[in-house]
């Protein structure tokens, strides 16, 4: 029987890449006024499925139906004409355009004021004249979501829309999606690896594993436990107790940041008079909502931005060993691996090679054997899903690309690690794998500066932490001295509204 509520449907879709079957005979229906979820771990086939639904990829088997008719979308552009909008995991904004120019592509008739209001619904205000290339990932995602929600779409396909949103923003997004779904009879499909995304506002869930459909149910008939097991198989890895944080260390200071102020790309000051020190083997967390200066802070500590004032001083341990604080002794897992840190057209192995050459060369010659061995170990350890180490990053899933960067930076022989939301885009299993490795690095004596937008992550990993708001860092205190509420209050600027600080 044909369900007349179904607006877009994939029937028995399959996609092969060479010998790999990325999606294997999977049917998913998107219904008017409902939110369906495509759930699965990194590499499960979610993005591939979405791209078949919108015509970017041609299926090897099965067919797509739009409003009951077989739809042969020649391209995603064709699908957009039929009012199927997609928000991709890696952004589709035009980097060289400003925020306003990007928004105008979708809303040619809205005034600047209206555009600003729309964007502000999903978080902090954004300067319309800012060039998109310079924005943090969280804000880019917000713009994409604003564009999609404001359009006249009949179907919205969202690939991991919440991966860079803070908790409140995520809740607001789901509320808005649910409301729009109801009001306009919009059909929505969300690909995600986050279980929390499924439970509150969605009606149907389909779980993919290794390209196969392993579970399909109304959300009200399932629960977190069942979904976890469907996604990952056994769940023992996830229930492991966290590694206890070490006591605040009495050990020597390895890195000291004194009264650091950093110019922003569009604001006169992105970081305002920030000071902290990190001891040997300590993890210091800085938590903030996207766009509060935390990326500029990380860049300045790494040496990618020149501070306006203040300094980043290497501690005695580094100086005694005759080293300056320089790239060689500092690992950096950046905010946006595709833009910075990785070369998307190079192979997995060569991406390891580019920043491990000091560890992997004999004289001026690359030690290919050592590099190959290293790649093999890193691929195993971080469970990177790739054919061979020669495969280009372009062919990896979003989460697996992120793993390549994290695996490389977490395997370097360094004194300091700067980790900027290291688990973004990773499924729960891999997230814990990454956390475990960061904690082990710290236990080995590496000092870690963790930049996070996720309160759970910051509390899980940090020995001491502080929150950042509009460039200012709160007091940095040992973890047990913070409550979630206090962190949240600082991150959202509630402390400012209460008139506690700031002229
Ligand atoms: N263009 C391509 N060429 C070769 N293999 C590909 C290509 N695109 C995807 N794959 C492979 O297909 C599988 C599914 O990838 P897909 O991107 O759909 O996963 P995903 O569920 O979206 O994962 P993630 O949560 O990491 O984004 C992966 O093993 C990936 O390496
Ligand atoms: Mg994906």
- From the CA of 23, the nearest ligand is 1
For residue 152, the model assigns a pLDDT of 79
Distance CA 216, CA 213 (A): 7
Instruction: Of 77-91, 160-174, 271-285, 395-409, give the lowest mean pLDDT range.
Output: 160-174
**Which residue, judged by its Cα, is nearest atom 6 of ligand 1?**
395
For residue 240, the model assigns a pLDDT of 42
All structural domains of the chain with their residue ranges: 6-83+152-238, 253-497
pLDDT tens for each residue of 29-83: 999 999 999 998 888 999 999 999 999 999 999 999 999 999 988 887 888 878 8
Percent of the chain predicted with pLDDT > 70: 88
Distance 30 CA to ligand 2 centre (A): 19
For residue 61, the model assigns a pLDDT of 96
pLDDT tens for each residue of 96-124: 888 898 888 878 888 889 888 888 876 66
For residue 108, the model assigns a pLDDT of 83
Do 6-83+152-238 and 253-497 come out as alike in CATH topology? yes
> What DSSP assignment string belongs to 261-307?
EE--SSSS-SEEEEEEEEETT-EEEEE--TTSSHHHHHHHHHTSS--
For residue 147, the model assigns a pLDDT of 82
The full length of the chain comes to 503
Q: How many beta carbons lie within 10 A of that of residue 90, not counting itself?
A: 17
Distance 283 CA to ligand 1 centre (A): 33
- Residue with the bigger pLDDT between 173 and 294: it is 294
For residue 243, the model assigns a pLDDT of 46
Residue 234 has pLDDT above 80, yes or no: no
Query: Does ligand 1 lie within 6 Å of residue 40's CB atom?
Result: yes
For residue 461, how many C-alpha atoms fall within 13 Å in the half-sphere facing its CB?
36
Query: Does ligand 1 lie within 6 Å of residue 389's CB atom?
Result: no
Distance 396 CA to ligand 1 centre (A): 5
What is the token pair recorded at 15? 């996609």
For residue 495, the model assigns a pLDDT of 67
Query: Per-residue pLDDT averaged across 174-201, rounded?
Result: 88
Query: Does ligand 1 lie within 6 Å of residue 395's CB atom?
Result: yes
Nearest residue to 283 via CA among 480, 423, 478: 478
Exposure string of 149-186, with b = 16+ CB inside 10 Å and e = fewer, is: bbeebbbbbbbbbbbbbbeebbebbbebbbebbeeeeb
Query: Per-residue pLDDT averaged across 210-228, rounded?
Result: 92
> How far are the Cα atoms of 66, 175, 187, 367 from residue 89, in angstroms, in the given order?
23, 20, 19, 35
- The CATH number given to 253-497 is 3.40.50.300
For residue 241, the model assigns a pLDDT of 37
Query: Does ligand 1 lie within 6 Å of residue 396's CB atom?
Result: yes
- From the CA of 207, the nearest ligand is 1
Percent of the chain predicted with pLDDT > 90: 42
Distance CA 47, CA 33 (A): 22
What is the token pair recorded at 222? 């399932």
Nearest residue to 293 via CA among 274, 310, 309: 274
Question: Hey, what CATH topology would domain 6-83+152-238 get?
Answer: Rossmann fold (3.40.50)
Residue 242 — very low, low, confident or very high, per pLDDT cuts 50/70/90?
Answer: very low
Distance CA 28, CA 216 (A): 9
Query: Per-residue pLDDT averaged across 292-306, rounded?
Result: 90
Residue 238 — very low, low, confident or very high, per pLDDT cuts 50/70/90?
Answer: very low
Q: Which residues have C-beta within 8 Å of that of residue 35, sequence separation ≥ 6? A: 174, 177, 178, 181, 188, 189, 190, 201, 202, 203, 204
């Amino acid at each position: 029987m044909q369900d007349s509520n179904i607006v877009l449907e994939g029937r028995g879709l399959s996609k092969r890449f060479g010998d790999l079957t990325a999606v294997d005979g999977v049917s998913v229906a998107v219904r008017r006024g409902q939110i369906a979820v495509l759930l699965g771990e990194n590499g499960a086939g979610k993005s591939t499925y979405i791209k078949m639904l919108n015509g970017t990829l041609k299926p090897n088997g099965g067919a797509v139906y739009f409003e009951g008719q077989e739809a042969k979308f020649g391209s995603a552009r064709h699908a957009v004409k039929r009012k199927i909008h997609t928000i991709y995991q890696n952004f589709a904004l035009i980097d060289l355009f400003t925020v306003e120019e990007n928004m105008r592509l979708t809303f040619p008739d809205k005034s600047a004021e209206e555009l600003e209001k729309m964007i502000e619904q999903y978080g902090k205000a954004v300067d319309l004249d800012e060039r998109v290339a310079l924005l943090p990932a969280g804000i880019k995602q917000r713009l994409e979501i604003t564009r999609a929600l404001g359009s006249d779409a009949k179907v919205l396909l969202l690939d991991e829309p919440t991966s860079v949103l803070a908790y409140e923003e995520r809740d607001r997004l789901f509320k808005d999606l649910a409301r729009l779904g109801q009001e306009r009879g919009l059909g929505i499909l969300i690909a995600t690896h986050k279980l929390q995304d499924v439970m509150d506002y969605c009606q149907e869930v389909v779980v993919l594993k290794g390209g196969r459909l392993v579970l399909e149910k109304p959300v009200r008939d399932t629960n977190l436990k069942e979904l976890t097991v469907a996604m990952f198989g056994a769940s023992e890895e996830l229930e492991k107790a966290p590694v206890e944080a070490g006591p605040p260390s009495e050990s020597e200071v390895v890195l000291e940041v004194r009264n650091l102020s950093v110019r922003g790309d569009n604001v006169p000051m992105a970081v305002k008079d920030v000071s902290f020190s990190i001891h040997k083997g300590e993890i210091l967390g800085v938590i903030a909502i996207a766009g509060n200066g935390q990326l500029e802070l990380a860049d300045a500590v790494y040496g990618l931005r020149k501070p306006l004032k203040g300094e980043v001083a290497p501690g005695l341990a580094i100086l005694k060993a005759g080293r300056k604080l320089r790239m060689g002794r500092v690992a950096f897992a950046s905010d946006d691996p595709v833009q910075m840190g990785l070369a998307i057209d190079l192979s997995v192995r060569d991406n390891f090679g580019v920043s491990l050459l000091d560890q992997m060369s004999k004289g001026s010659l690359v030690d290919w054997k050592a590099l190959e061995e290293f790649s093999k170990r890193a691929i195993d350890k971080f469970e990177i899903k790739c054919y061979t180490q020669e495969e280009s990053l372009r062919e990896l899933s979003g989460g697996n690309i992120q793993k390549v960067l994290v695996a490389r930076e977490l395997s370097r022989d360094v004194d300091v690690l700067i980790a900027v939301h290291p688990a973004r885009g990773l499924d729960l299993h891999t997230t814990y794998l990454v956390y475990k490795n960061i904690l082990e690095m710290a236990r080995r004596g590496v000092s870690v500066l963790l930049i996070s937008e996720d309160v759970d992550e910051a509390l899980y990993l940090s020995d001491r932490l502080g929150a950042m708001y509009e460039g200012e860092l709160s007091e940095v205190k040992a973890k047990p001295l913070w409550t979630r509420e206090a962190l949240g209050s600082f991150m959202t600027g509630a402390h400012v509204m209460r008139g506690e600080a700031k002229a």
